[in-house]
Amino acid sequence: MTKIPNILLIYTGGTIGMVKEHKTNVLKAFNFNNIKEKIPELNLLDCIIQTVSFKEPIDSSNMSPKYWVKIAEIIENHYDEIDGFVILSGTDTMSYTASALSFMFENLNKPVIFTGSQLPIGDLRTDAKENLITAIQIAATRDGDLPKIGEVCLYFEYKLYRANRTTKISAEQFEAFNSPNFPELGESGVHLNFNNRVLKKVNKNKKLVVRKNFEASIVILKLFPGISEQVVKSILEIENLQGVVLETYGGGNAPTLNWFLNLIQKAIDKNIFIVNVSQCISGSVLLGHYETSSKLKQMGIVDGKDITTESAVAKLIYLIGENIPQKEFKVLFETSLRGEMN
């Protein structure tokens, strides 16, 4: 007899869990213990749904590594008896959080699906119901005796993405996310269709390892025409700075001015990890392809390839937390650990 999957719904906060009070029109957090009363369609799903909510739901703008660890620990504590996890969070920082979770879980062999909504769950035109129902259905999908998905994903507006490949592209459209450098893992239409070619293979023989050292002092430094020496210097000389996500132009290009290159070299000499990522939504860093990136390559700057800024932030914090030696750090960052880069 086929076992009915147990799915744990984790509500951290965000628009999807908000309902309007009829008298005041004020949004307040929804009680997810009553989720089937609000969305009776969930009773039609062939799975058992359990729920757990943050005691104090947080807006995604307040998301931070301490909450990443909290989410990871909820999953870790329920991992043996639960078959799949659906995490509800605010959309503004969802790609950061979902990317972080992908690095925190080593040897993951169960689905962890992030979703949310652009409109509250009680709104007449809400996208919350479809996103939530399908995310749960995906988490419950089996391939024989194994789950169909064995990685951290993000589901939104009929598309299933690898979480650490996503970026939020719209604050107003229901199609709020995109995966610019990697194909969708699946699509919801009349049927759930999975892109088996790019799905990670589930390996039940490896034991889950949860990495929780997710505290690091890092910054994102976005270049722009006319950026001054004073600005770059003040950022790179932040006390106890450990890492920088350097958002460069196009294929990894940056100013060739002596003061800029000297400041970058000085930071690298102080064992500050600097990762070169492109400001472009799609495409890859190609270090050394143009003269404007050849100096950075010679310095030994980390090549972010086609990683998103959100994933670069999460991976940088993860590797710093693991105390990776300077010589190994560059090689590890430039290696795909969770499918985050080509």
* Closest of 266, 296, 310, 300 to residue 60, by C-alpha: 310
Q: How far is CA 58 from CA 35, 54, 183, in A?
A: 19, 8, 31
51 among known catalytic residues: no
Q: Strand 84-88 vs strand 6-11: parallel, antiparallel, or unpaired?
A: parallel
Given 12, 15, 91, 308, which residue is catalytic? 15
Residues 6+ apart with CB under 8 A from 28: 18, 19, 20, 21
SS (H, E, C) the chain: CCCCCEEEEEECCCHHHEEECCCCCCEEECCHHHHHHHCHHHHHCCCEEEEEECCCCCCHHHCCHHHHHHHHHHHHHHCCCCCEEEEECCCCCHHHHHHHHHHHEECCCCCEEEECCCCCCCCCCCCHHHHHHHHHHHHHCEECCEECCCCEEEEECCEEEEHHHCEECCCCCCCCEECCCCCCCEEECCCEEECCCCCCCCCCCCCCEECCCCCCCEEEEECCCCCCHHHHHHHHCCCCCCEEEEEEECCCECCCCHHHHHHHHHHHHCCCEEEEEECCCCCCCCCCCCHHHHHHHHHCCEECCCCCHHHHHHHHHHHHHCCCCHHHHHHHHCCCCCCCCC
Identify whether the C-beta of residue 271 lies closer than 8 Å to the C-beta of residue 279.
no
* Closest of 114, 148, 117, 111 to residue 39, by C-alpha: 117
Residues with a catalytic annotation lie at: 15
